[in-house]
Amino acid sequence: MIMSFFFGLLMATLLCLQSAAQVKTMTVKLNDAKATVSPTMWGVFFEDINMGADGGIYAELVKNRSFEFFKPMMGWAVHRKQAMEGDLLVINRQGENSNNPRFLRVTARKAAKGDLGMTNEGFRGMGIKQNLQYHFSVMYRQQKPGVKLHVELLNAAGNVIGGTTLVPQATNNDWQKQQVRFAATATESKAKMRLWFEGDGVIDLDMISLFPQDTWKGRPGGLRADMVQLLADMKPGFLRFPGGCIVEGYDLSQRYQWKKTVGPVEDRQLLINRWNFEFAHRPTPDYFQTFGLGFFEYFQLAEDIGAEPMPILNAGMACQFNSGEVVPLDELQPYVQDALDLVEFANSDTTTKWGKVRAYMGHPAPFRLKYLGIGNENWGPQYIERLEIFTKAIKERYPDIQLVTSSGTDPNFNPFSEKGFAYLDSTLRKMNVDIIDEHYYRSPEWFLTNAKRYDMYPRNGPKIFAGEYAAQSHKPASDRSRNNWQTALAEAAFMTGLERNADVVTMASYAPLFAHADGWQWTPDLIWINNLHAYGTPNYYVQKLFSLYKGTKVVPLTADKQVIAGQDSLYASAVMDEKSNELIIKLVNYSGQQQTTSFILEGVKAVATDGMRVVLQGNNLNDVNTFESPNQIAPQEKPFQVKNKKITLDMEPYSFSVLRVKLSAGKQP
């Protein structure tokens, strides 16, 4: 009995060693290019979830700067010595200004510094950097001149780490904006900002704001540069925004309305963020949308990072996981008008109503919008009948705009459910829509199995946009899901299938994009941030490598005439880049064994004698990047040799490699 057990074990080990030692030979046919890789192939999807915008990429440090949160003083702690009731009074001027109704009236009665003040806690604290300049600004109206403002930054221990004094200049009774600057004397990730009111008088305050100077491109009131840089480094083909479920809202009153997000920032009406209360396990009662990052800024961001803008608009339907309410068809017109006006805002000249708004905001040149999404994750006949109305109106006026349409939330073909994919996919195909958006938040195994998903798709008809996907180490949106190496590797395997089918799939983006370590609602996420730092997950590096080396033409890569999609736990695809004149091979080794692979390059006269491989590798599928070890899994370059148009390489266990070889003789320059 014992003997036979050991014999079995020995045989199994030998078989394993033999398979590990076996060389997997694949052929790449360079003269048989079929599909063109769309320049938009790999992009990013931004949604204000996980404090991605307010508290994240929008660099404002003051939370509830205009007292518009549901609880008007949320985020503010009040300090008063001998003040009278009503000396800090929230006033609501709904009739005069319905977009920004509240402000704070401060009455100081011969107050010394330290008598009357308030402290803002920031978004889970404020990230402050030593020696950096900070811009404090406030809108004020002097009811009785005589109050000055002392601004102080405090570290976690409550000590002052920078500050200045703002003495109101204007004495008339109109709203004014005034700004002062000062440098911080220390770095602190959990700072707060305190204001002391000194003097004798009455002053109204609104839009109390603090921005660092080091925003992206140094724009005042702009975006966090480190976060934008991580996006720019990916060279994304498109930017999908602003969601996601926030487009839909819990109900229609909470839907995203782009017109309320443009123009002067103090006029952008605050809205609750639907992720504020979505998950009982991660309630975020202080999560609101100030729209400091609004539609103009999204377009500008897309332009900055070289991405095609892809706004998504509400289709007259609230989130079907929430209220699911719909607007009656005969009341859909304002929604359709929003879509038409958005194209005008983005593309028309400055003589038009909305082109003028764009120019006023600082961008007279058009943004050249090509893609527009109608609805996010909508399903059922109620979606289709609304989509038909949108499509007719938009195509009549703007026939060149490509419309992105929803196939719901479930990528599996269940013919018996109208929520399901089969109904939507077949209906959208009958409608001959431009682009179908598919979403999948599934297990790593699902991603591996679906590496061949698009091999079976019709080659004609609508293009596919893999608009939201992420492998889940636990359940979707579970607080136990992790951005571990297993999920990233499974996504890489799946993405070889997207790339191989670039004639069908023309766009793809991971979701969600950002998460604040102290303010998230949903895991996993591509990029994690805290108040001072940001790092890319292993999944980020997978996305980045596919994007940087996307190539221009797909070339066949096979073994025994089969595509490589799971045999021996290998997944592979190949493209040529006609601009850099390179062959680019992507290969995932999803096994825990090193595997020797050979690539025979056919259909090419000569290739370089050396190439470069970029490798992502983790010894353990549970490996993750962290703030402390942001490069635990990060790209490493390894040169290799090419002999007689053949590459033979040992692929590390659990690795993703991108191989690049010049398609011309000699050594690479």
Catalytic residue numbers read 377
CB of 237 to ligand AHR, least distance (A): 19
Judged by beta carbon, residue 196 or residue 440, the one nearer ligand AHR is: 440
> CB of 569: closest distance to ligand AHR in angstroms?
29
> In three state form, how does the secondary structure of 464-508 look?
EEEEEEEECCCCCCCCCCCCCHHHHHHHHHHHHHHHHCCCCEEEE
Shortest distance, CB of residue 439 to ligand AHR, whole angstroms? Answer: 6
The backbone torsions φ and ψ at residue 136, rounded to the nearest 5 degrees and listed phi first, read -95, 130
Indicate the residue among 300 and 409 with the shorter CB distance to ligand AHR.
409
Six token digits for residue 374: 């109608």
Is 486:447 a contact under the CB 8 Å cutoff? Answer: no
Q: Which is nearer to ligand AHR, 404 or 511 (CB)?
A: 511
Stretch near ligand AHR under the rule CB under 6 A, chosen from 55-63, 124-132, 149-157, 242-250: 242-250
| Cβ neighbourhood burial of 491 (10 Å; 0-12, 13-18, 19+) | buried
Spatial contact of 278 and 343, defined as CB atoms under 8 Å apart: no
For the window 38-67, what string marks contact with ligand AHR as x by the rule CB under 6 A? ---------x-x------------------
Q: Which residues does 226 contact at the CB level (< 8 Å), separation at least 6? A: 533, 534
Strand 463-471: give its sheet, edge to edge.
44-45, 238-241, 308-313, 371-374, 402-406, 435-442, 463-471, 505-510
Site for ligand AHR in 514-573 (CB under 6 A): 522
Interface residue with ligand AHR, options 101, 244, 611, 618 (CB under 6 A): 244
Using CB under 6 A as the binding rule, the residues of this chain from 395 to 414 that contact ligand AHR are 409
Question: Does 511 interact with ligand AHR (rule: CB under 6 A)?
Answer: yes
The answer to whether the beta carbons of residues 464 and 438 sit under 8 Å apart is yes
Compute the least distance from the CB of residue 49 to ligand AHR, in Å: 6
Q: Please report whether residue 599 would count as binding ligand AHR according to CB under 6 A.
A: no
- Compose the 245-274 pattern: x for residues touching ligand AHR by CB under 6 A, - for all others: x-----------------------------
User: Can you tell me the distance from the alpha carbon of 341 to that of 290, in angstroms, rounded to the nearest whole number?
Assistant: 22
- Residue 563, SS3? strand
Shortest gap between Cβ of 581 and ligand AHR (angstroms)? 38
* Contact call for residue 76 and ligand AHR (CB under 6 A): no
Q: Tokens for 587?
A: 């290969």
Residues 466-495 close enough to bind ligand AHR by CB under 6 A: 468
Q: Residue 303 belongs to what H/E stretch?
A: helix 295-304
Name 214's Cβ contacts closer than 8 Å, sequence gap at least 6: 129, 132, 225
Among residues 43 and 243, whose Cβ is nearest to ligand AHR? Answer: 243
**Choice between 512 and 536, CB closer to ligand AHR:** 512
554 token code pair: 């797909």
Cis omega before residue 236 (within 30°)?
A: no
> CA 467, CA 76: separation in Å to the nearest integer?
38
Is position 243 an interface residue for ligand AHR (rule: CB under 6 A)?
yes
Binding segment toward ligand AHR, per CB under 6 A, in 98-106, 239-247, 354-362, 552-560: 239-247
Binding of ligand AHR at residue 123 (CB under 6 A)? no
Q: Least distance in Å: CB of 293 to ligand AHR?
A: 16
The least CB distance from residue 47 to ligand AHR, in Å, is 5
Question: Which residue stretch of 64-72, 117-125, 241-249, 655-663 sits at the interface with ligand AHR (rule: CB under 6 A)?
Answer: 241-249
Q: Closer CB to ligand AHR, residue 45 or residue 535?
A: 45
The amino acid occupying position 542 is: V
Smaller CB separation from ligand AHR, 56 or 551: 56
Nearer of residues 279 and 398 to ligand AHR, judged by Cβ: 279
Q: In this chain, which of 376, 483, 543, 552 binds ligand AHR, going by CB under 6 A?
A: 376
User: Rounded to an integer, what distance in angstroms lies between the CA atom of residue 573 and that of residue 497?
Assistant: 7
Residues within the interface to ligand AHR (CB under 6 A): 47, 49, 243-245, 376-377, 409, 468, 511-512, 522
